[in-house]
Amino acid sequence: MYDRIKGFRDFYPGEMAARRAAIDTIEERARSYGFREIGTPALERAELWTDKSGDDIVDELYAFEDQGGRHVTLTPELTPTVARMVVAKQQELSKPIKWFSTRPFWRYEQVQQGRQREFYQTNVDIFGSSEPEADAEILAWAADALTGLGLSGDHFEFRISHRDILGGVLETYDADVDVDDAIRAVDKSDKLETAEYHDLLVDAGLEDDQAAEFDDLVASGDLEAVEEFADTERVTDAVENLQRVLEAAEDFGAREYCTISLETARGLDYYTGVVFECFDSAGEVSRSIFGGGRYDDLIESFGGQPTPAVGVAPGHATLSLLCQRAGVWPDEEVTTDYYVLQIGDTRSEAARICRELRERGQVVETDVAGRSFGAQLNYADSINAETVVIVGEQDLANDEVTIKDMETGDQTQVAVDEFPGDRERPTFDDFD
């Protein structure tokens, strides 16, 4: 026996059926907003990450040297890849560029609730618009995707903030404050003890009393108090932008899910404006369901023309935990519309029935293992077949087949040339 590698998952048919139903809902909502699906490679040059984050990030990657001597890695996230793609065809692409994709990613990190080393995300991004409506559309899509899965505002909330509010407040203190380090501390604050968080702020350059003051101000979420404290153009502009995004979100139907939370910072340095994270309202899922925000400088940093961008990336592991807690995760079971059961030398007629049902878009199975009547019927039950079509030699001699409803056990004989006939989805009730 070979053991599965830690941090990687197998998905058996029932689990995969539930995942597929959820993915289909999420992607259907993306298409309804005009987002276009893209495909991206599993392998990229490691420099896409090391050039921005330093060589130490290699410890978090599945990176190696390939046979051509290139330093490559399995992709740990999508944003650098889509940035590369935008830069490659920037002049040809109509703006705004609205893309989505669902695929796996890989990070070598500690396995925990809602996070494996191989994990799946649906990324949704808009490139080419700096307007608040673009941020609001991302929020609206995320809300539609979640409610499409059966969730409601009782199950989740979007905590929304603006990076320039935090940066502007921090700049009012001392020139020696490392703003990026302080923002990263804010991003970790909900996972740290108060004293540990305070120490990180001090390490970033704040005095003890300043760290306490900053913590109180941020925790209040009071935008008026923030503007009054940091009377700077950067903070004023950021507050105005955040308010305009929320106003647009109101019109787009997503405002009811949004809570202003200045403690929401997003730790990645490429975020530049509005940022948000989705959380389980009951707090039973120990990490954010997903996060996103604006990253207006990234395309230019990859060698492209200045291009504003905003996006979000729901993780399927945490999303499934939220749906399971709320009782709306799709049933983890396979379903089958028809099982065509063969008795004796009836393959030709059984195959005809299978073909005609499949042409109507139905899920159809039939015997391919030479099993007995009882074994076939047990198998039909195990795959949750709704209807069994019994094609037996005696029935065919009478120009009939038998239709059996698997839920009730009722069955009836039908003329063979009337099944399936012109019906799209014939069942026992059509012939009773």
Q: Which residues are annotated as a binding site for L-histidine?
A: 77-79, 107, 121, 125, 266, 270-271
Question: Which residues face 338 on adjacent strands?
Answer: 364, 387
First to last CA, the chain: 51
Strands (E), 251-331: 258-260, 274-280, 290-294, 309-312
Other beta carbons within 10 angstroms of residue 370's beta carbon come to 8
**Angstrom distances, CA of residue 386 to CA of 389, 402, 426:** 10, 14, 11
Annotated binding-site positions: 77-79, 107, 121, 125, 266, 270-271
Which token pair is 322?
A: 């939220």
Query: What is d(CA 75, CA 63) in angstroms, rounded to the nearest whole number?
Result: 9
Other beta carbons within 10 angstroms of residue 90's beta carbon come to 17
Which token pair is 349?
A: 């007629």
Query: What is d(CA 301, CA 32) in angstroms, rounded to the nearest whole number?
Result: 31
Written as one letter, the residue type at 366 is T
